[in-house]
Structure 1
Amino acid sequence: MALGAAICVWVLRAFIALYLLAGALFLIGTFGLFGQPRDPLSGIFLIPLGLPWNQFVDLAPEPAWPWLAALSPLLNIGLLATLCRWARN
C-alpha cells in the first residue's frame, strides 16, 4: 500500500472515531442518559464534522433538523472512503 493510501485510511479511521464519539455525546446530552442533565448544546461537536452538508439542513422540516445534522458527517465519511479507494488504485 502506498504511503498516501495508508495516510488516507488513518484519516478515515480517525474521522469515524470522532464521529462515533460526537454521536455518543449527542445522544447522551439530548436524552439525558446515564443521569446527565439534558443539554441543548450536546450536538455542538457534530457541526464541524458535518460541514458543509449541515448548512442545508434548514431546507428540511424543523423536527428533522437535529437528526439530519447528526447524520451529515456520514456524507463526509462516504467521500473520504471513496477518496481512499481511489488512492489505493
Structure 2
Amino acid sequence: MCKTVTLIFALAYLAALFLLLVGTFGWFGQERDPLAAVFLLPLGLPWNQFLDLFGEAFRPWLAALSPLLNLMLLRMICGFAARS
C-alpha cells in the first residue's frame, strides 16, 4: 500500500511538473499561462509556506522542487514501515 501511494504521488508530481513546463514555455501550441503551477503547489505543502524566507530569484525553483521533500518523506516512512 505504501509503495502504491508513493508511486501515485510521484506520478502526480511528474504530471504537475510537465503541466508547469507546458504552461510556462508555451509548448505544443499552448498559450503561456501565469497559473501553470496551480497543480504543483498543493503537492509541495507545507514546504511552500516557507518560501518567503528565500530570495525572489530562488522561489520559483524551490516551489517546483518542494514536492520532492514530500516524496522523500514518503519513501522514508515506507522504509521504516517495512522494517517494523
Identity of aligned residues (%): 58
Listed as ranges, the gaps of 5+ residues in structure 1 are 1-6
User: Structure 2 CA distance, aligned partners of 1:36 and 1:78?
Assistant: 32
Moved over 4 A (4+): none
Listed as ranges, the gaps of 5+ residues in structure 2 are none
User: Which residue of 41, 55, 69 maps to 1:61?
Assistant: 55
With the length of structure 1 as denominator, give the TM-score of the two structures: 0.89
Matched, 1:74 2:75: no
With the length of structure 2 as denominator, give the TM-score of the two structures: 0.95
Mapping 1:46-57, distance limit 5 Å = 46-57=40-51
For 1:31, the aligned partner's letter is: F
Task: Give the structure with the higher percent helix.
Answer: 1
Q: Please report the RMSD computed on the Cα atoms of aligned residues, expressed in angstroms.
A: 0.7
